Amino acid sequence: MEQKPESMMSLDEIAAQLRQHHTKYGDPTGLSLAKIGELLKKTAAVMFPQYAVAEENDLTLEDRLAVLEGSFYELVERLCRGKDVGCSRALVQAFLSDLPQIAAYCHRDAQALFEGDPAAHSLEEVVLCYPGFFAVVAYRIAHKLYQRQVPLLPRMLTEYAHQRTGIDIHPGAKIGHSLFIDHGTGVVIGETAVIGNNVKIYQGVTLGALRVDREQRAKKRHPTIEDNVVIYAGATILGGETTVGQNSVIGGNVWITRSVPAWSRVMFKPADNDEIVSMRARQGTGSAVNR
């Protein structure tokens, strides 16, 4: 049978249909991850001298703050549409005023990494090279904005860091000082997680929820990690009622859904019938069969 040719739409008709889909998403803010990356770069340059010197320009710290002020104002201006007059200016002033406290927390995070990782040779190496530090810096900035109920921007800050480092920290999480995240790829810290001071977390750790139903949104869904806890690679700790007590050590690859008392050690126990076979022995067996 002869097939009928498909009817082709004109560009105007295609645009009209796509425009109808666009209206389903509301009024966009104009934010993008590329703009967020530039904001983080400018913020890092006022908090850390390593970033400022690397830019190789003669701007003073006051000049850098002025540049950051203008950039941040452009981002939040559209977020404040329909709100009180002066909303944008108030957010900008609050953001800049928060920077010294954020910088102080970040220094303690960098110091924790330097002291806790024998492979670290200087604070500058930590600041410039460690993905865990970059992700925590983005979180510290985002968390302050989250506390001030700024929409969208906090989540975009941590998502930019997530895409760059593989470390996913929700800006709503509550985290104490001197957080140590080493290597970091695959780390997930949920919105209602609470983390104390001097906590060490290695790659692949999940602090997640037992349920992801929408009705759980207003509840604490993620665990509490008390002071001085170490969580090794691949551990999964779930549930809003789960608490890991202070000074505990959580071994790699464990799965925890109930609370752990302080000063505990939780280790993964492999199956008793695991068998380790020499590769040479296996090759020898194969050779015998082939003969």
Parse the chain into domains and list their residue ranges: 30-167, 186-270
Closest CA to 37 of 150, 156, 149, 139: 156
Rounded-to-integer distance, Cα 107 and Cα 286, Å: 58
Of the pLDDT bands very low, low, confident and very high (cuts 50, 70, 90), residue 2 is: low
Query: What is the layout of strands, in order, in the sheet containing 174-175?
Result: 174-175, 194-195, 224-225, 243-244
Predicted confidence at residue 271, as pLDDT, reads: 61
Indicate whether 290 pLDDT > 50. no
Residue 85 has pLDDT above 70, yes or no: no
- Per the CB < 8 A criterion, the answer to whether 189 and 158 are in contact is no
pLDDT at 283: 61
Amino acid at site 244: V
pLDDT at 215: 80
Closest CA to 158 of 190, 203, 129: 190
- Fold of the CATH domain 186-270: UDP N-Acetylglucosamine Acyltransferase; domain 1 (2.160.10)
8 Å CB contact between 112 and 127: no
Average pLDDT over residues 56-65: 89
Q: How far is CA 31 from CA 39, 127, 163, 233, 270, in A?
A: 11, 27, 16, 34, 48
Torsion of the alpha carbons at 121, 124, 130 and 131, rounded to the nearest 10: 180
Cβ pair 231, 250 in contact under 8 A? yes
Instruction: Quickly tell me which residue has 């957080």 as its tokens.
Output: 179
Give the residue, 156 or 278, on which the prediction is more confident.
Answer: 156
| φ/ψ (deg, to 5) at 140 | -60, -45
Residue 60 has pLDDT above 60, yes or no: yes
Q: Are 211 and 222 in contact (CB under 8 A)?
A: no
**Confidence grade of residue 272 (pLDDT, cut at 50, 70, 90):** low
| Domain pair 30-167 / 186-270, same fold | no
Contact 163, 32 (CB under 8 A): no
The domain made up of 30-167 has a fold known as serine acetyltransferase, domain 1 (1.10.3130)
3-class DSSP assignment, residue 263: coil
CA dihedral defined by 258, 259, 261, 263, rounded to 10 degrees? 90
- Do 184 and 132 meet the contact criterion of CB atoms below 8 Å apart? yes
Report the pLDDT value the prediction gives residue 288, as an integer from 0 to 100.
44
